[in-house]
Structure 1
Amino acid sequence: MLRDVPKFWIAVLAVLGIACTTYSVVGIYYIRLEQRRQAGMQEVMARAQPIIAALRTYQKRYGKPPENLQALQQPFPQPGPMAKNGWEYSPGNTEWTLAISVSSDYPQSLGGGDMFRYCSDGKYLAGGDDGELERIGEWGYSTYY
């Protein structure tokens, strides 16, 4: 039966088979990267819970957020392998932000200074200098291109 099929069509079918296989392998690779990124974000959110609770308690007690995390006078867990550095804390008058800079070595980071942050007032900027925003629960993931 293959003798009746021109060689051109056999070559076309072979190329299509290789293309489909490659597309499937690449797709699976990106799905696994996204799963790892999601797991990393879940880990950061879990590790941040004691810090967020302490910040809220401090703010309730003193009527304003602390100047820095050291004012809470307790040790906190490191953010995990997703973070380029440690926790980044930015206090305002009544609100505050707890964030990490995402390591460019971490899967799915686009390497342009991605940030994963928790804003106490729940307000996240999207677009402009803040890049593209993806909401993950009460957190925001900003991607910079």
Structure 2
Amino acid sequence: MSIAMSIRMSLLLTLLAGASTAYAGDACRNVKFSITNQKNHTITLTQVKYFNQANNRFQTENIRTVQCKAGATCVSRGDNLRDAEGEDLTRFVFVLKNEGGENRHDTSVKGTNNPRCNADKTYGPFVITAND
């Protein structure tokens, strides 16, 4: 392999490694959600959709499954939200399953007064009503 080719390969590998590091570093880490279940049965949260103002779009992330009994306030265990560190996440939609149900559905859009995403942040409490 020529020296020029070796330099190009090293440069390419460095750029690729830097790009993946930048992407991973942009995640808002260990974000939790506090929800109050006002339904008359247990719900299971499986995903969160969040509106990132910087990207001007909703993004969806799987979250570690959270079961929340009727009338309870529950906090998720903490998940990473891509492209969100230091960004304002202004609206949330939770994807949930009702007790005994296999079908997932979205809640209504939930807003927040404190939108800036930082590591270890807990958003909420969000109320999941009978109409969600």
Q: Same fold (TM over 0.5)?
A: no
Q: Which bracket does the TM-score occupy, shorter chain normalised?
A: 0.3 to 0.5
Between the two structures, name the one with larger relative contact order (CA 8 Å, sep ≥ 6). 2
Which has the larger Rg? 1
Query: Which structure shows the bigger proportion of residues in helix conformation?
Result: 1
TM-score, normalization: structure 2? 0.37
Q: Which has the higher strand share?
A: 2
TM-score when normalising by structure 1: 0.34
